[in-house]
Amino acid sequence: MANRTVKDANSVKGTNPQYLVEKITRSRIYESKYWKEQCFALSAELLVDKAMELRYIGGVFGGNVKPSPFLCLILKMLQIQPEKDIVIEFIKNDDFKYVRCLGAMYLRLIGESVEIYKYLEPLYNDYRKIRFQNNNGGYELTHIDEFIDQLLHEERVCSIILPRIQKRYILEEAEKLELRVSALEEDLEVMESSSDEEEEIIKDSRGRSPDRYRDRDRSRRSPSPRYRRSRSRSPYRSRRRRDSPHRRRRSRSRERRRSRSPERRHRDREHTDKHRSHRHTDDDDRRKSHKTKRSRHERDHKHESKREKKNESDEIAEANALRASLGLPPLK
């Protein structure tokens, strides 16, 4: 008795409203703990409190095919069949997003095509996040507008096969629905108008369209790497470099060194040692001369500073004598 539909319920799509849920899923819901404890003797007024306690949406999950609370409440609404005004208030509720999803899902199951488009399409502007329980029992993040798009375009949502509805363009041709205007169209029109104004300003200021300038700049650019001439060296050039006279000269000098006698090598080493010692002595002499020049320059600078100080003291003494004759205090 507890699982039967109410007596005065109207048939939906020519059948019992509960039959919109498949028999296997329906039997799993009847056996679930949530249905027996929370949905027993539930009226339309108490259904609102249960809907406000929802924290996620979903269908069946796990290997035992357990139903989610969201799916149990959907079946309960099909069983008691609340008034359409209550369902519309569920959809228009902005405070509780899962209550809105519950009302949208129920209206999609029992409503007519015109009503579904009329009340569900405005929810495309709701971008709030909601939790969705997948078939494995895990949770995923989605949005209300994505959930509404699934209800309007997919065949199966939350483990329930949705009834077919008419296509929107057919209802528009029959003048039952008006053309849908997206909320982004106004922003796109504003952006297009602003871009057109900028192009007109550029044309007026330069006297030419920006496309001509783009073409002119494009002609000045260097060619792409694909069309550049390859600069790979030919084997003839590399052979010429290998056989250059400089390399030949170096190889000949090495051969001569190897062919020399030990005495000649010893003499060459002595010569190089003498040359190095001579070079070191020249470097030492240069350093010494540099030091002497530097010391002379420092001495001359000291003498000049002493002379300047003496001249300044003489000038101060003369100025003090003049100030004393005039009866003024001396300078410090």
Q: Note down the domain range covering 40.
A: 17-165
State the pLDDT at residue 217: 46
Q: Give the three-state DSSP class for 102.
A: helix
Q: Which two tokens stand for residue 95?
A: 């405070």
Is residue 252 one of the residues assigned to a domain? Answer: no
Q: Which of 127, 142, 165 represents a domain boundary (last residue)? A: 165
Q: What is the distance of C-alpha 303 from the center of its chain?
A: 72
Per the structure block, which two tokens stand in for 289?
């001369």
73 in Cβ contact with 80 (< 8 Å): no
Q: Does residue 198 form part of some domain?
A: no
End-to-end Cα, the chain, rounded Å: 120
3-state SS assignment for residue 72: helix
**Is residue 111 domain-resident?**
yes
How many H helices and E strands in the chain?
A: 14, 7
Q: Tell me if 111 sits within 8 A of 152, measured CB to CB.
A: no
Q: Identify the pLDDT of residue 264.
A: 66
Whether 178 maps to a domain, the answer reads no
The answer on 292 and 158 residing in a single domain is: no
Asked if the structure places residue 309 within a domain, the reply is: yes
Query: Residue 213: its pLDDT value, please?
Result: 45
Residue 209 domain-assigned (yes or no): no
What is the residue whose two structure tokens read 């000045």?
220
- Is 59 among the domain residues? yes
Asked if residues 133 and 68 have their Cβ atoms less than 8 Å apart, the reply is yes
Considering 118, 141, 165, which residue would you say is the last residue of a domain?
A: 165
Final residue of a structural domain among 165, 186, 217:
165
Q: Does residue 100 contact residue 151 with C-beta atoms inside 8 Å? A: no
Query: How many domains does the chain divide into?
Result: 2
Taking 50 as the pLDDT cut, the residues of the chain under it are 1, 209-210, 212-213, 215-222, 224-232, 236, 238
Report yes or no on whether pTM surpasses 0.85.
no
d(CA 97, CA 56): 10
- Taking only the tens place, the pLDDT of each residue in 147-191 is 999 999 999 999 999 999 999 999 999 988 888 877 777 777 778
Per-residue model confidence (pLDDT) at position 203: 64
